[in-house]
Structure formats: C-alpha cells, structure tokens
Amino acid sequence: MTTSFAAGVRIAELAADPYPAYARLRTEEPVAWVPELGRYLVTKFEDVMFVERHPELFSSVEEPSMMTRAIGNTLLRQDGDPHRRIRKAAEGPVRPKMIKDRWAAAFQANADQLIDGFITDGKADLVKDFAGPLAATNLATILGLRNATATDMQRWSQAFIDGCGNYAEDPEVWRRCEIARAELDQAVTDALPDARQIAEPTVISSMAHADGALTDDEIRTNVKIFIGGGINEPRDATAVAMYGLLAHPDQQAQVIAGEIGWRKVFEEAVRWIAPIGMYPRQVTDTVELGGKTLKAGDKVGVSIASANRDEAVFDCPDEFDVHRDGANHLAFGGGPHFCLGTWVARISIADIALPTIFRRLADLTLVEPDTVRMDGWVFRGPLTLPATWTAEHPHA
C-alpha cells in the first residue's frame, strides 16, 4: 500500500519552512488530506481561486473553529448578511480616501517617532524596534484604542494569532490567549463610552454609531480579530519587504533611485511570503476540487502561501523579484472576505514605512543576512532583522 506524501506532513516542518512541502503537494496532490491538520490542504492557485469564487460551497462558518475558540464569533467566521453587517459597520475608517485624508499623517508621525528613538544608536532590530511597534501604534490609532500601549497590542495580537493557529493544542498557547482576551475586553470596555458619545472616524466609533449599531460584545469580539490580523500581518509584510530589499542590493538600488516604485516592493513581498499563509473553510455540498471529491462537512485549509508560489502562474516563484507584475497574487484573499485592512497596509507600508526607513537610515545593512529566520505557516514572517547604518537623516 502506497502512503501519500501528505500523510507525513507535520506542523513543525511547515512552521520551519512550508514551501518545499507545498511545491511537492502542488505537483503530486494539489488537494491533499493531511491527517495532522485534520483537513484537506488546497495548494494550487487555480483551486484556491475556485474556493474564493464559490463561498456558497466553501463556508467561512467552520464548526468547530479554531478562530472562534481563540477569539469568539467574529466577522471572519460569518457569511452573508451577518458578515456584511459587521463589515459595513467597520469599513468606513479603512477606505483609501479616509486613510489618505485622516490617517496618513498620523502613520508618518508614528514612523518618524520610532526611528527617532533609535537612529543615533546606529543599530536596531527592524522587527522588534520598527515593524512591530509601528504596526501596533498605527492600528491603535485607527481603532481609536487610546488606552493600550504598543507593547500591549503586540502581546495581545501574538496571543490571538497563536491561538488561531494552535492546531497542536498547546495548553500554554490557550492560557496566553485567555489572558489577552480578558485584558483587551477591559480596554475596549473602557474606550466604548467615549466612542458611543462622540462620533469620529475610528473603527470602534464607526461600529458604535453604525446603522443597526453593534452591541458592546460584538465590538469587543471583532476588535480582537482586527488586532490579531492588523498587527502581525503589516508587521510581517514590512519586515519581509525590508529583508527582501536588504538581501538583494541590486533591487534595493533601483528602488532607492526611483526606478521601481515602493508599491511594487510591497506587492512582491506579500506574494513571496504571504503574511496570512492559510485560512480554513468548511464544505457545504459535494464538490470536485483538484481531482478530489469533497463532501459537506469536510474541512479545507486554503493555502495562499502555496498559491502565491504556484509555478503555473509565477515565473521563478521562490525568488524575491520586484520587477514582476504582482497584481494577481492572493495575499489579501478575495470574494466577500477580501482583507478589510488591504489599503491600510498598502498606504502605511508602501507609501510610508518603507520609503521612510530607507530614506532616513542611509547604508542600511543586515548584520547577518544568512542567519535571518522565518517562522510560521498559518502566519509567517522574520523573527528578527538586526541591522546597522552609517548615516542619519532627520525627518522633514
């Protein structure tokens, strides 16, 4: 009896580096039952697109759901009218024009303030000292969560992300997740009276004043998912983009010279290492996908990370290359659940964070580029990016 490769796929190996396994699965078994995950893993671009285009067959309402267990019943685990109701209540402050008109100046100030804090040191960890706290501070700003520090926000976010991906059932992960839930619930509870009294273009205030206003519990629950994804994802996207340029000096030189735009850097970074590597869906009816017959109740893991490196779509997909056309990547998902924070990420990272740090820290260099380690498969990014620079430029 022949055992499929997928039967031996292990979570620990995916966390260390999922891409070799994904490449083999795309070739041998693009929709594969992975026993350790308890679901079919979907790895080819065309099959992921099929899932995205047929939400009636692949529901985000998964039972039981790791995310619901970790955070609660958020809009990401709802479909149809319940999903649209919450999304509509939250989306006003994250539309492109609102971000440019209201939030871009704050994002710029946050980036400059962080760089001011370490610029004279001549060295920093670009994840710990810049990408992480910048994502946290920007998110607190746009949420209207003024009573939480960047440290609090990052700790809560990591606890929620770890919980949503705790397929190994680590009890310590659940313990940290429970603590984070309690602390964030209190912070949102403290912020809600002012948010309900004063209408302003923050996400919490928008949810509180929307038609058919959300309950306090709905707001608390959905703020958790905004913090879970709204910090780790922009943090990792910023870090991957910085790493990609620093590890490819020729591409960096072209970007600095203005020959290639920062938006292309951003889009290639999130294609190359998708900040959200996999999301779950549950099958609602019998359907053929990737040569497999799936039945109602079957669980699938939709691998954006693998789809974004599909050889059938991208030339030399394992390479970081800012020259490619990255418009067809799937880093932000698609369909009704297209990432709510897409434009926040594009503007705060591509238009502000990346050009600012490369402009202000001249001759920015990784200390040991060969030792940079990525981690994760549900969510993935560099753990640290120790760097040095030789010249300092004040912000304008």
Assign residue 148 the CATH number of its domain.
1.10.630.10
- pLDDT higher than threshold 50 for residue 302: yes
pLDDT digits (tens, 9 = 90+) for 175-197: 999 999 999 999 999 999 988 88
- pLDDT higher than threshold 80 for residue 80: no
CA dihedral 389, 392, 395, 396 (to 10 degrees): -130
pLDDT digits (tens, 9 = 90+) for 122-152: 999 999 999 999 999 999 999 999 888 999 9
Type of residue at 297: G
Give the separation between CA 176 and CA 154, rounded to whole angstroms: 13
- Write down the H helix ranges in the chain: 11-16, 19-28, 45-53, 66-70, 80-91, 96-98, 104-118, 132-143, 150-164, 171-197, 203-209, 216-246, 249-256, 262-272, 304-307, 342-345, 354-360
Q: Output the pTM of the full model.
A: 0.90
What 3-state class would DSSP assign to 124? strand
% of the chain residues with pLDDT over 70: 95
Amino acid 41: pLDDT:
98
Amino acid 326: pLDDT:
59
Phi and psi dihedrals of 343, rounded to 5? -75, -30
Tell me the pLDDT band of 14, cut-offs 50, 70 and 90: very high
- pLDDT higher than threshold 60 for residue 158: yes
Q: Domain of residue 377: give its range.
A: 5-392
More confident residue, 67 or 158: 158
More confident residue, 326 or 212: 212
Amino acid 1: pLDDT:
44
Amino acid 314: pLDDT:
95
Label the pairing between strands 361-362 and 365-366: unpaired
Give the separation between CA 251 and CA 249, rounded to whole angstroms: 5
Query: Hey, how many other C-beta atoms are within 10 angstroms of the C-beta on 208?
Result: 24
Total domain count, the chain = 1
Amino acid 327: pLDDT:
63
**Tokens at 371, concatenated:** 């030792």
Q: Average pLDDT, whole number, for the chain?
A: 90
Amino acid 299: pLDDT:
96
User: If you search the block for the tokens 């995950």, which residue do you land on?
Assistant: 37
Amino acid 281: pLDDT:
93
